[in-house]
Amino acid sequence: MTEDIPPAATPSASSSPGGAASDAGAKSRSKHDKGSIWDVYYPRNIDGDLESVPIASFPMIIYFWPSIVVLLLAGCFQSWGWTSDVTAGWWVTGSLAFNLMVIVTDLDQKKFLIVSLLVILGAVGLWISHDKDVALISTVSGWIGAMRPTYGNHTLFLLFSILFFFLGIGLLNPRLNYWKFEPNEFVHYIQPWGRDQSIPRQGSTVSREVPDVLELLLTFGGGTLVIKRESQVVARIQHVPFLGRRMRALEKMLGVTRVQVEN
């Protein structure tokens, strides 16, 4: 699934008797609406008159936030006696299996629909077979039911600490390696060295791709941002959270024709 932003319109110029005041107003807006580099984590003022939109690629550890949350809750609930160790073990095992599936597989819209239908049909088939007391299904159900995955409290909190530590390290990367989309150019920064690459806006297009529906859900509308120039891909920014909101900001900023006011 892709979503394109067309090339920039050709800038135009006009004269105005109140040029000085208009220019001062434009400078004031530019001063207050340049945005913050911290917006790489969450785009805030997407409907404002932005001068730039920062976007960064995140490491794949961000997809493990469900396991991090489950590990913390399972450890707390189990230590407080709010749930059994087997129930907590199933929660943790299921969340880790889900996250591994997200990392290993790429389910586009078509594949996601097929897999969802297969899961539903399989669940219905298991229910009907169990109700009819099919020997094979009963054996498999009994074998699964006999499993008792358990994790000690120290193990749960240790796993939580490990994943949380690497998540923190991963969240530092976007602050040091990011793109800034401006009306006239797209600039790649690598700190502390500064500008690494610059792509002129004129003749370039920006599109959004969603290679995996599960990644889309886990990053709250995320995906991959693709920069093309003269129909050639020049950059791919992968694993961008909240990309749907960022696209709205890009469309607003890049879709506006800039007007220069002269005296």
Q: When comparing pLDDT for 109 and 61, which is higher?
A: 61
Residue 263 has pLDDT above 50, yes or no: no
Q: Determine the pLDDT at residue 181.
A: 93
Helical segments of the chain, H only: 19-32, 65-80, 85-104, 109-131, 135-145, 153-176, 213-218, 243-254
pLDDT for 245-260, tens place per residue? 999 888 888 875 443 3
Q: How confident is the model at residue 121 (pLDDT cuts 50, 70, 90)?
A: confident
Cβ contact 61:68 at 8 Å: no
Residue 144 has pLDDT above 50, yes or no: yes
**DSSP codes of every residue in 55-70:** E----GGGGGHHHHHH
Computed over every residue of the chain, the mean pLDDT equals 82
Q: Determine the pLDDT at residue 7.
A: 55
Q: When comparing pLDDT for 136 and 78, which is higher?
A: 78
Q: When comparing pLDDT for 115 and 24, which is higher?
A: 115
Residue 61 has pLDDT above 80, yes or no: yes
Strand pairing report for 185-190 and 194-200: antiparallel
Q: Percent of the chain beyond pLDDT 70?
A: 76
Cβ contact 99:63 at 8 Å: yes
Cβ contact 41:62 at 8 Å: no
Q: What's the mean pLDDT in 53-78?
A: 95
Q: What's the mean pLDDT in 165-184?
A: 94
Residue 64 has pLDDT above 80, yes or no: yes
Which three-class secondary structure state does DSSP give residue 184? coil
